Amino acid sequence: MKHKIAYLFILLIVVIISANSCRNKESGWNTNLLAPIATAELSIANLVSDSMLTTNSDNSLNLVYKNTIYGFDFSKSLIDIPDTGISKAFRLDSLKLPQQDFNVRFSLGQLCRQLIASGSAGSVFLGNTIISRNGGFMVYPALTGLTVPATNYDASLYFREIDLISGFMDGWIKNGFPVTIKNVHFQVRNQIGGEVVIDDIIDSIAARDSVFRVYNLSGQHVEGQFTFQLINFDTPGSYGVNAPVDTSDQFELDFRIFGFRASSATAVFPSIDVLASTEDVTQEIQGGAKLTYIEAEEGTLHIYIASSVQEGLTLTYTLEGAYDKMGRPLRVSSFVPPAPSTTTPSRIDRVFDLSGYSIDLTGKDHNTFNTYTQTINARVDSSGIERTITSSDSLTISYSLENIKPRLIKGYAGRDTLTIGPETSNFDFFKNILGGTIGLDDVKLSMSLENGIGVEGDLVIEQFTAKRNTSSVALAAPSVMNTRIRVNKANEFPFRTTQTNIALNKSNSNITRLFELLPDRLEYAMKVYVNPNGNDGTYQDFVNANSKLNVNLNMELPLSLVANNLTLKDTLDFNIGNSLADLESIKGGAINLIADNGYPLEANLDIIVYDEYGGVVDTLLKNYTISAAGLNSSCRVDASKKSYDKIVVSESRMDNLKRAYKAVVIAKFSTKSNQTACNSYLKIYSDYKLKLSLTADFRYNINAKF
């Protein structure tokens, strides 16, 4: 504490002595003080950020630039899944009514008993003879007018009566007898109305043989109770030849009725499946893509049902081959209540989220593509009440897959040509160079194609042009430009992008000329030929949510150059006083410029001072030359070149400088002709810098009263 008091006391004496020695008639003191105003250090870092600089083993510098000049998102642009929907009215005429089977069995023994029962002496004798020869042989005589008693069948469990728009009965008529039968005449009749539904005569059926018949029931009125009757059949016998006798041999008729489409039906509808429809719905996808599988990032299933049927229905919709992340199938069940009346249908409208679902697109037989397989099952929930349903009653089902956004697709992505550009990409590598020109010893440029999709392609670069203001230089590279460059597909498991590199340098292109322009824009035009060789039949293409084709620009620029007025700029804080009192005390003086140039480049210097509003206050220096540092025998700078100058500032000029806020230093670098012995291109090293310092040598007027 004692030392501090002593120091302050000595300082006070010095100030008083100085003040008395400088007192003037205005009761003030004039003094000169030397103080720093601003410093600047211009290096290659003023050109680019530090991250763009690399240092070689000899400490020479490279400028390195890496950027993606173009990115193409295939997941959004290449595959567009269109909405898919079906609206279908399943009317009664297309409802699935169960197939009905019926048969007639008539044995040789039954025929014999029928002959015996007829009472005719000849028939009785023949019937007994056949029975007595059972297990043996005999010669069968010719017979005519044989018949079989009618057989009644009841299908009223399914319908009481039905008016058919269309329908069929088919089946086999089998002759199990040891002799040919002819003129087989049979009928199917409604039991109540008596209408003949089928009437047919079969000319001949050989022994142990059969025939197949199909009967069209279109336009028929069919009752649930009907009668089958074999009205007549004849036999020519065994033609005088012994034939085996087996009374269990049968004449058989096996029929089914199916495919009913009805205009009306009356029934106590049981709880039965009335609809089971499995349909493949195939899409056309732009570009000829043939997809076998997708995983949905998002999307919806929209189902709308309208039923005029006055019975309750349970409807189940299944998107076959669609599973969520837990492996659960996409199956939706809805109860459709009975229609309130014949004119008012019941309605169901539901939307289901498909996010996260994987969907197979190979169809129900798993041998196609772009195909959804959809199954609709409808079951009548019986009320036990007999109802009449007409063709105006319907079950209308509309379902659609909407806004499917895939996170992954597989299959064949199609054969397409994608046009890119002409487009312009900003190139800010030389943004801090205000002007001038440079000559570059070399530029190494690698255009890297990073392919993140599982699709092969060819890339053609049609244009690559460097631009600055109104000047431009187009890339000339015969081995690259307008040449198909193969881009290999990405790997799926594990996912890995592929890299295709296009190397350009001064030996295969005019790349140095492009960048000697100091461009601020790059203009390019390209074409991508997707699957140029077409479909190889493996369907192994894939595109996922991360699939992109990036065109990356990787540039390495060795700093070996020729400069001509290469212009750099730096902005400094500039303040000639620390307080308002300081500024008021300054009356004039000089500003000293101290330059320490470590570059083998001559610098032409401007220093312009601005106020806080951006207005020019003063130009301290204009076209001031700072000499280049000398080069040793290794063409390196051993010692920087120092220079000094004094800028006289009058009192009126000082009044302007008191408003100073910032100073802008503009340096124009040029190589000198006397340096060509080292090489026309000079290497720039990491320790090269241009240091500038501005110091104030001001005259102050200090007023004081004692």
Q: What is the pLDDT of residues 52-94, one digit of tens each?
A: 667 777 766 767 777 787 777 765 555 667 777 666 666 655 5
pLDDT of residue 673: 59
pLDDT of residue 25: 40
> Which of residues 249 and 313 earns the better pLDDT score?
249
Considering the domain boundaries, does residue 173 fall inside one? Answer: yes
Mark whether 163 and 262 lie in a shared domain.
yes
Q: Which of 153, 155, 154 is nearest to 99 (CA)?
A: 155
Q: Which residues lie across from 523 on neighbouring strands?
A: 424, 465
Q: What is the mean pLDDT of residues 448-476?
A: 88
Residue 185 pLDDT > 50: yes
Number of domains in the chain: 4
Find how far residue 492's CA is from the centre of its chain: 15
Q: What is the mean pLDDT of residues 459-473?
A: 89
Mark whether 246 and 110 lie in a shared domain.
yes
pLDDT of residue 159: 76
Q: What is the pLDDT of residues 578-599, one digit of tens each?
A: 544 455 666 667 888 888 888 8
Contact residues for 97 (Cβ-Cβ < 8 A; gap 6+):
158, 159, 260, 262, 274
Q: Residues of the chain with pLDDT > 70: what percent?
A: 81
Mark whether 474 and 499 lie in a shared domain.
yes
Mark whether 589 and 664 lie in a shared domain.
yes
Rounded to an integer, what distance in angstroms lies between the CA atom of residue 326 and that of residue 232? 65
Separation of first and last alpha carbons in the chain: 28
> Which of residues 87 and 10 earns the better pLDDT score?
87
pLDDT of residue 638: 84
Mark whether 460 and 573 lie in a shared domain.
no
pLDDT of residue 671: 80
Q: Residues of the chain with pLDDT > 90: what percent?
A: 15
Mark whether 344 and 357 lie in a shared domain.
yes
Q: Which residues lie across from 152 on neighbouring strands?
A: 227
pLDDT of residue 27: 40
Mark whether 582 and 645 lie in a shared domain.
yes
pLDDT of residue 104: 85
Q: Estimate the crossing angle of helix 108-117 against helix 121-132, to 10 degrees.
A: 150
Distances 611 to 430, 539, 618 between C-alpha atoms, Å: 28, 69, 9
Rounded to an integer, what distance in angstroms lies between the CA atom of residue 464 and that of residue 462? 7
Q: What is the pLDDT of residues 257-312, one digit of tens each?
A: 887 777 777 776 666 666 777 888 787 777 778 888 888 888 888 888 888 877 78
Domain boundary among 498, 529, 558: 558
Mark whether 159 and 113 lie in a shared domain.
yes
Angular region, 487: left φ>0, alpha ψ -120 to 50, beta rest: beta
Q: What is the pLDDT of residues 623-663, one digit of tens each?
A: 888 888 888 877 888 888 888 888 888 877 888 887 888 88
Q: What is the mean pLDDT of residues 188-215?
A: 93
Q: What is the mean pLDDT of residues 28-49?
A: 54
pLDDT of residue 36: 61
What's the domain range around 223?
A: 100-266
Residue 202 pLDDT > 80: yes
Maximal C-alpha separation, the chain: 177
Rounded to an integer, what distance in angstroms lies between the CA atom of residue 9 and that of residue 3? 10
Considering the domain boundaries, does residue 454 fall inside one? Answer: yes
DSSP 3-state assignment of 663? Answer: strand
Q: What is the pLDDT of residues 135-148, one digit of tens each?
A: 999 999 999 988 88
Considering the domain boundaries, does residue 575 fall inside one? Answer: yes
Q: Which of 411, 401, 370 is nearest to 298 (CA)?
A: 401
Considering the domain boundaries, does residue 56 fall inside one? Answer: no
pLDDT band at 33 (very low <50, low <70, confident <90, very high): very low
pLDDT band at 248 (very low <50, low <70, confident <90, very high): very high
pLDDT of residue 3: 37
E-strand ranges in 238-384 read: 242-244, 250-268, 273-282, 290-307, 312-323, 329-336, 346-353, 358-360, 371-381
Mark whether 677 and 550 lie in a shared domain.
no
pLDDT band at 42 (very low <50, low <70, confident <90, very high): low
Residue 680 pLDDT > 60: yes
Considering the domain boundaries, does residue 254 fall inside one? Answer: yes
Considering the domain boundaries, does residue 318 fall inside one? Answer: yes
Considering the domain boundaries, does residue 13 fall inside one? Answer: no
pLDDT of residue 11: 32
pLDDT of residue 21: 38
Lowest mean pLDDT among 235-239, 461-465, 664-668: 664-668
DSSP 3-state assignment of 581? Answer: helix
Q: Which of 337, 353, 346 is nearest to 302 (CA)?
A: 353
**Across all residues in the chain, what is the average pLDDT?**
79
Rounded to an integer, what distance in angstroms lies between the CA atom of residue 684 and that of residue 628? 13
pLDDT band at 702 (very low <50, low <70, confident <90, very high): low
pLDDT of residue 138: 93
pLDDT of residue 32: 44
Mark whether 396 and 291 lie in a shared domain.
yes
Full-model pTM? 0.55
How many Cβ atoms from other residues are within 10 Å of residue 627's Cβ? Answer: 14
Angle at 591 between CA 590 and CA 596, to 5 degrees: 140
Mark whether 345 and 448 lie in a shared domain.
no
Cβ atoms of 452 and 497 closer than 8 Å:
yes
Q: Give the best-scoring range by mean pLDDT among 274-278, 311-315, 503-507.
A: 503-507
Q: What is the pLDDT of residues 94-135, one digit of tens each?
A: 555 667 788 888 899 998 998 899 888 888 999 999 999 999
Residue 240 pLDDT > 80: yes
Domain boundary among 210, 235, 266: 266
pLDDT of residue 28: 43
Rounded to an integer, what distance in angstroms lies between the CA atom of residue 275 and that of residue 281? 18
pLDDT of residue 1: 41
- CATH number of the domain at 65, please: 2.60.120
pLDDT of residue 19: 37
pLDDT of residue 108: 92
pLDDT of residue 17: 30
pLDDT of residue 16: 30
Q: Which of 585, 484, 594, 588 is nearest to 532 (CA)?
A: 484
Q: What is the mean pLDDT of residues 223-230?
A: 88
Considering the domain boundaries, does residue 18 fall inside one? Answer: no
Q: Give the best-scoring range by mean pLDDT among 49-63, 197-211, 481-495, 582-596.
A: 197-211
Residue 9 pLDDT > 50: no
pLDDT band at 378 (very low <50, low <70, confident <90, very high): confident
Residue 199 pLDDT > 90: yes
Residue for token digits 């043989």? Answer: 209
pLDDT band at 14 (very low <50, low <70, confident <90, very high): very low
Residue 31 pLDDT > 70: no
Mark whether 528 and 567 lie in a shared domain.
no
Q: Which residues lie across from 668 on neighbouring strands?
A: 567, 604
Domain boundary among 509, 541, 558: 558
pLDDT of residue 53: 67
